[in-house]
Amino acid sequence: MSDRIINNIDDLHDMLDAAIQLEHATIPPYLTALYSIHPETNIEATATIRAVLVEEMLHMTLSANVLNAVGKSPELTAPGFVPEFPTRLPDGETDFSVSIDKFSPETLETFLKIERPSKTQGDSNHLGPKGCLARTNLSAFQLRAVRPKSAPEYSFYSIGDFYEAIKSGIEYLEELANKEGETIFTGNPSLQVSSKYYYSGGGHVIEVYDKETALQALSLIIEQGEGHGHKIFDSEGEISHYYRFEQLKHRQFYRLGDEPGQPSGEKFEVDFDKVYPIKPNPKMADYPKGSQVFAAASAFNHNYQQFLSTVNKAFRGEQDLLLGAVCGMFRLKDHASQLIRNPIPDDPTYHGGPTFEMSYEEASHISREQCISETAK
């Protein structure tokens, strides 16, 4: 059995497809929790979730740049790309799933699990390649699973472990290719998304043309997510997602020099009561047909699907579309907020929430429409 996850270019493509899906899968939960917070309250929690959410969008773009650089186009409109919530994450953590839900202590715990640092080598009792465990409960994973051809399915303990495996794969495959006088970076450079199109979104986007830039892009994802080498702050003084969320748990900011788990900075309030009670993992079937909540949730899903389709085109050479997609994003935000601030008519203890249910039967119809009406029908 090979002890490598990635043994050929198809493995690498699979892993990067999974990476894009993984980054995207975190967006609905972060977005919903963020908009569930009452306006004007929980200032620190709002800023934290927002910062992480925006960086996930950067990570998705960076992963797409790497995939394009190694010769494959992202597929954001493929059926199943948007998971059905609650969902496992595609890098295969077995001990938690991710929900669309309000901001709460439980939600915060899940966010910490999503962003958790890699286990130090000593703790990990791994039976497979570095950073992974052989997985037996594959049926629990509806998302693109990591499937190296020559080995059983694996799950990773952390997202960082997953990206480390991609980095090793790139180094390995590029070295093999170079020996033959070739390269794996065969993608069309004109497909790269540059900072001309991606702006003020969680950091500087890195265009990927070779091994060096690919590793830079992937390292940035790891650093922003779980931090580097278990450090709270990175070399530029930016705090990683994991420790950002830990600050909310401790209700206190970290300062440079603090030890993990012991922040010593300014204290602040987190008020879990100042949150709209969204129905956990809502589905369209939970909303009475003909109600405003139903219409708004339906319009949101429609617009979200349209938005993904636009981003997909932008990742396939029409980068200009990203500029317009930003406007679409602000509209989505307004629509999601409206929905979340309204009680479900027949079940007023709960509020509405975006369901992120995509309808792939209509996909061809949607892609023909130039401009989707924003109005609830």
Partner 1 sequence: MTNQAYQIQQFIELSGALTDFNAFTLNGTGQVQNYYDTLNRIVGRVMVEELLSKFSAIYEASTDHEKFNELLRKQIIGDEKFGPVARNIIKLWYTGMWYQMAQFWREAYGMSDEDVTFFVNSASYAEGLLWQAIDANPSGAKGPGYGSWSLPPNINFDNCWQFKPFNHTS
Residues that bind partner 1 (CB under 8 A): 38-40, 199, 292-293, 295-296, 323-324, 326-330, 337-339, 341-343, 373-377
- Whose Cβ is closer to partner 1: residue 9's or residue 54's? 54
> Which CB sits closer to partner 1, 131 or 354?
354
Task: DSSP for 7-68, please give it.
Answer: -SHHHHHHHHHHHHHHHHHHHHHHHHHHHHBPTTS-HHHHHHHHHHHHHHHHHHHHHHHHHH
Quick one: 125 or 200, whose CB is closer to partner 1?
A: 200
Tokens 């286990």 locate to 119
* Distance in angstroms (rounded) separating the CA atoms of residues 197 and 317: 12
Give the count of beta carbons closer than 10 Å to the beta carbon of residue 156.
Answer: 28
CB of 292 to partner 1, least distance (A): 4
Q: Which is nearer to partner 1, 177 or 308 (CB)?
A: 308
Q: Which two tokens stand for residue 2?
A: 């090979």
Distance of alpha carbon 85 from its chain centroid, rounded? 14
Q: Minimum CB separation from partner 1 for residue 333, in Å?
A: 9
**Structure-token pair, residue 58:** 């950067």
The residues, any chain, with a CB within 8 Å of residue 176's CB and separated by 6 or more, are none
| CA 266 – CA 352 distance, rounded (Å) | 35
**Distance in Å, CB of 97 to partner 1, minimum:** 29
Q: Would you say 86 or 345 has its CB closer to partner 1? A: 345
Output the smallest distance, CB 283 to partner 1, in A: 19
Query: Largest alpha-carbon pair distance within the chain?
Result: 67
Can you name the residues that pair with 134 across neighbouring β-strands?
154
Shortest Å, Cβ 54 to partner 1: 11
Give the position of tokens 């970290």.
Answer: 254
CB 22 within 8 A of CB 159: yes
**CB 369 to partner 1: min, Å:** 14
User: d(Cα 375, Cα 377) in Å, to the nearest integer?
Assistant: 6
Residue count of the chain, please give it.
377
CB-wise, 52 or 132, nearer to partner 1?
A: 52
Q: In angstroms, what is the minimal distance from the CB of 330 to partner 1?
A: 5
Mapped onto helix, strand or coil, the DSSP state of residue 166 is helix
Whether the CB-CB separation of 319 and 194 falls below 8 Å is answered with yes
Question: Considering beta carbons, is residue 266 or 374 the nearer one to partner 1?
Answer: 374
DSSP structural state of residue 134: E
Q: How far apart are CA 31 and CA 60, in angstroms?
A: 15
Residue 252 or 301 with smaller CB distance to partner 1: 301
Are the C-beta atoms of 287 and 344 separated by less than 8 Å? yes
Nearer to partner 1, 221 or 297 (CB): 297
Inter-residue contact 128 to 161 (CB < 8 Å): no
The distance of closest approach from Cβ of residue 220 to partner 1 in the complex, given in angstroms and rounded to an integer, is 23
What whole-number distance in Å separates Cα of residue 236 and Cα of residue 281? 37
Tell me the closest approach of the beta carbon of residue 370 to partner 1, in angstroms.
12
Distance of closest approach, residue 306 Cβ to partner 1, in angstroms:
13
Which is nearer to partner 1, 43 or 138 (by Cβ)?
Answer: 43
